[in-house]
Structure 1
Amino acid sequence: MQLHLAAAVVLSLALLLPSSTTAHNITRILEKNPDFSSFNHYLTVTQLAPEINRRETITVCAVDNAGMSDLLSKHLSLGGIRNVLALHVLLDYFDAKKLHQITDGTALAATMFQATGSATGSAGFVNITDLKGGKVGFAPQDNGGVVSATFVKSVEAIPYNISVIQISSILPSPEAEAPAPGPSQLNITALMSAHGCKVFAETLLANPAEQTFEDNVQSGLTVFCPGDDAMKAFLPKFKNLTAAGKQSLLEYHGIPVYQSMPGLKSSNGVTNTLATDGASKFNFDVQNDGTDVTIVTKLVTAKILNTLIDEQPLAIYQVDKVLKPKELFKGVLPPSPAPAPGPDADAESPKPSKKKHKSPPAPAAPSDSPADAPDGDVADQTTNGAARFNAGGYAAIFFTLCFAFLQL
C-alpha cells in the first residue's frame, strides 16, 4: 500500500516538473553543412525559413550549391525564387524509410507553394515515386510528370515533425518560375511623403536602399515607415552611422513579402528584413498588443499608427518610432559618471579648490519603452536564471521525496 502511495506521489511530482518541447530550426539544421549555404540563404531572404519553423509534419527537399546555381542562372525575381523553393517544402513527413515504402509505389504531396494560393490547379503538387534500383524520383505536377530529381540522402530527421532530405537538383516548374503579376504603377516615396513620412522618404531617396525597396515591390514588399517627428528626432544618430550602417538601417524597415494587417496579426513572431544577410540577422518580432500591432526590436518597440497603402503586392504602414536594430546600436551606452573623490582626498584638502569642476554626465533620459534600453537583455538573463532556479528546485524536491518514499 505504501509503495502504491509512493508511486502515486512520485508520478504527481513528475507532472509538476517543467516539460520541454523540441522546436526545429531549418536554418540551424542546414548551416551544419556548407554545401547547402546558398539554399539556406535564400530560405532566409525569401521569408520561407520562419514559415517552415512554424509548421509541424513537414519535409524540406534541399539542393546543394550547384543546384542553386542552376536556379539563380535563370535570373528570377525574389518572388519567383520564393515560389520555386516553396515547391521544395512538402506538407507531409517523408524520411528515408518512408520514401522507400510508399504505398503503391507513388504518392502525391502538397507543397508550401500550393498552400500559398499562388499555384493554380495541381501546379503546387509533387509526385514522389519509388523507382527501380533503390531510387526515389520527384516530379512536379506541372512538369508533364517527368522525374526531374532523385533522392540523394537524409540530412536530418525529427520523426513526424521535420525531415530534411537532399535531392539531386531543383524541381522545375513553369508555374512557380513565372513572373508575378506586375503591381500598379506606384511611387513608394511619393506615397510616404503624402502621408506623414516625408523625412523618411527623402532619406531613402538619397540612399542605395531605395533601389532595394523598388526591386522587391514586384515580388511582395511591406514597409514600416517612421512618422516625420520620429525620423527628425533620429536624424542626428542616423548621420553618425557609416554608409553601410545607413543602408542597413533603412532596409531594416522593410520585409520582402506582402503582409496585410490581418496577415501581420496572424503571423506573429520573428521576421527577417531586407537588411537580413546570413550572420547579420537584422530581424524583429511582430506582436499584437490588444488591437494594436507592434514591431519589437531589442532596443525599441514601435506601434503601427496608420496604413498608407495595403494593395497586394505592397503594404506601407506608418510607425511611431524608428526601428533600431541591435546590430547597429547594441552596446552604445551613455558615458559613465566620474568617480567620486574618496574620504582621504577630502582630508588632505582642507581648503576648497578654486578650479571649476565639471559635473558628472547626467544619467540617460528614460526611453519611451523599456525595450529601448541598450541593456534590455538583462531582464531576459534574470528571467532565465529564475527559470533555472525553479527547475532545479523542483528536481531537488522530486528526488528527495523519491528517496524518502523508497525508505518506507
Structure 2
Amino acid sequence: MKPTKSPVPSAAAASALLLLLLAFPGAEAHNITRILAKHPELATFNHYLTLTHLASEINRRLTITVLAVDNAAMSELLAKHLSIGTIKNVLSLHVLVDYFGTKKLHQLSQRSTSTSTLFQASGAAPGTAGFVNITDLKGGKVGFGVTEVENVEATFIKSIVERPYNISVLQISQVLTSPEAEAPTGAPSDLNLTEILTKQGCKAFSDLITSSGAAATYQENVDSGLTVFCPPDSVVNGFMPKYKNLTKAQKTSLILYHGVPIFMSLQGLKSSNGLMNTLATNGASKYDFTVQNDGDDVTLKTKVVTAKVTGTVVERDPLIVFKVDKFLQPKELFKATEAAPAPKAGKSKNSNDDSDDDDGADSPDGEPLEDTADDSGFAAELVAGGRLVAGSLLLSLFLPVAML
C-alpha cells in the first residue's frame, strides 16, 4: 500500500512561505525626493519638501498621495514671503493621507470626495481646514479645492508616479492654500546651534559650520527637528589636511552631511537601521549613509568610512547632537578607501555585486573625487539582488516538498 501524504505542511514549506512574505512585501519603500528629481519643472516644490521636512514624513508613510506643482506655481507662493513654518502648512495640504491614482480620480462614487491631508494630521489645522475636496468634473477633468465641496482651485494635469496602493504623485495646476494654512506660525526657538556646540566640546566643528556657509541651513532646521553628528576637536584637527583640498561648495556639502533633518534619539537610531538622508541630500546627490547597530553600539557607514557614535553631547528636543569618532566622508566627495571584503568562492571577479565596493579601493586615502557618479539605481539593484537570493531559497525549499 502506498503511503498517504500528510496534509500538514512540512517545516520546509512553512519556512518557504515565511521567506515569500519577507521577500515580497505589500508596500515598497519610496523616496519622494528622488522621484521628483527626475522632473526639473518640479524642482522648487521638491526643494521645499526637503526644507520643510515634509519629504521625510512622506517617505515614512506606507500610503500617500502627493499633489505636486511646477516652478511657476511655487514662485507665486514664494512671492508672498511666508515663513518656512507657514510654507510647510501650505505644502502639507498637498499631501493626502490616502491613495489616489488616475483611475480612482475618475471613479469617485459621488463625483466628489473629501480627504484628509498632512495639514489636518499635524493638528495645526483648525476644525476641518486640513481637508481637500476632489471633484470629478465634466469632460474628464478633475478639480481640487480646500474651502467648499466642488470649489475648484486647481485641476489635475498628469500623473508622475503611481504605485498602487503605496504612493501616487500627481501634478496639479495651482498651489492649494487657505487663510488657515497661511496663518502666521509660532516664532522660532532660541536654540543657537553653533553656540551650543562651542560650549559642549565641539568648537572646531562649530567653526566649520560657520566658515563653510552651512550655518543658516542648520539653524533653519533646528525648530522642526535636527540631529547633528559632531566629530570632536581632535578628529576635526586631524581631518583638516583633507578638508582644505575641497572646493567651497564641497566643504558646504560635507558639513551639511553631518546633519539629519529630523530629531532622532539614541533609541531611535538603534531602531532605524538603514539608509538615512542628510541636510546635504539633494536629488541625484544622495549624500546618505547607513545606520547600523550591534547591541548598544551604533555606527554610521558610508562607502568611505565607518564612524561610531560615542556619546550624546546635548539632547534638547527638537535638537540632539551626538559625538562620532570619525569625520563622515560621503562617496560623492571621496573615493572608497576601506578594504573591500574578500570575494566568495566561485564568484566571478567582475561580479556586478562587488563593482560598487571595489570602486576606488586602490586610490589615495581621502583624495577628493573629480566627478561624482550617479548611482541612483544602487538601491533598486540591492532590492532586486535580495529578491533573487530569496527566490533561490524558495526554490530550494519547495523542490523537495513538491517531489514528495
The question of a shared fold, defined as TM-score above 0.5 by the shorter chain, is answered with yes
2: CA distance, partners of 1:161 / 1:387: 19
Partner in structure 2 of residue 66 of structure 1: 72
1:396 and 1:309 map into 2 onto residues whose CA distance is: 49
Give me the whole-angstrom Cα distance separating, in 2, the residues matched to 1:6 and 1:330.
57
Q: Alignment partner for residue 39 of structure 1, among 21, 41, 45? A: 45
Please list the CA deviations of residues 7-56 of structure 1 after superposition, one character each: whole Å capped at 9, or x if unmatched.
99999497476532351523454445444343334434544334323322
Question: What does residue range 197-276 of structure 1 map to in structure 2 within 5 Å?
Answer: 197-259=202-264, 269-276=274-281
Aligned partner of 2:164: which letter? P
The answer to whether the aligner puts 1:164 opposite 2:172 as a matched pair is no
Q: 1:307 to 1:177 in 2, by over 3 A?
A: farther
Structure 1: any 5+ residue segments left out of the alignment?
335-363, 366-380
Q: Gapped runs of 5+ residues in structure 2?
A: 340-363, 366-380
| TM-score normalised by length of structure 2 | 0.71
* CA contact 2:297–2:308 (8 Å) conserved in 1: no
For the residues of structure 2 that align with 1:217 and 1:393, how far apart are their CA atoms? 46
Secondary structure at the residue paired with 1:156?
strand
Deviations 1:346-379 (A, max 9, x none): xxxxxxxxxxxxxxxxxx99xxxxxxxxxxxxxx
**Is the CA contact 1:252–1:274 (under 8 Å) kept in the aligned structure 2?**
yes
Indicate if the aligned counterparts of 1:46 and 1:82 stay in contact, CA closer than 8 A.
Answer: yes
Distance apart, 1:83 and its partner CA: 3.2
- Aligned match for 2:131, one of 111, 115, 125: 125
Q: How many residues align?
A: 358
User: Would the alpha carbon gap of residues 395 and 186 (structure 1) be closer, same or farther in structure 2, given more than 3 Å must change?
Assistant: closer
Q: Which amino acid aligns with 2:24?
A: S
Offset of residue 305 of structure 1 = 0.9
Q: Alpha-carbon deviations, 1:131-159, whole Å to 9, x = none?
A: 44443322225x89843112233333222
1:228 counterpart letter in structure 2 = D
Q: Partners of 1:386 and 1:160 in 2: how far apart?
A: 22
Q: Closer, same or farther in 2 for the Cα pair 1:171/1:294, shift >3 Å?
A: farther
Aligned to 1:139: 145
Relative to 1, partners in 2 of residues 1:86 and 1:301: Cα closer, same or farther, differing over 3 Å? farther
CA contact (8 A) 1:297 1:323 kept: yes
Percent identity, please: 52
Change (3 A) 1:6 1:309: closer
Aligned CA RMSD, in angstroms, stands at 4.1
Q: Does residue 100 of structure 2 align to residue 94 of structure 1?
A: yes
Deviation of residue 90 (structure 1)?
0.8
Q: Which letter does structure 2 place at the counterpart of 1:270?
A: L
- Does the CA contact (< 8 Å) of 2:273 and 2:293 recur in 1? yes
Provide TM-score, normalisation by structure 1: 0.71
Q: Do the aligned partners of residues 105 and 384 (structure 1) sit closer, same or farther apart at CA in structure 2, a change above 3 Å counting?
A: closer
Report the Cα offset of residue 91 of structure 1.
0.8
Which protein has the larger Cα radius of gyration, Structure 1 or Structure 2?
1
Q: Which residue of 2 aligns with 1:109?
A: 115
SS state at 1:328 partner = coil
Residue matched to 2:24:
20
CA distance in 1, matches of 2:314, 2:292: 20
User: Structure 1 residue 250: deviation in Å?
Assistant: 1.1
> d(CA) in 2 for partners of 1:295 and 1:79?
30
Counterpart pick for 1:53 among 42, 46, 59: 59
CA distance in 2 between counterparts of 1:218 and 1:393 reads 47
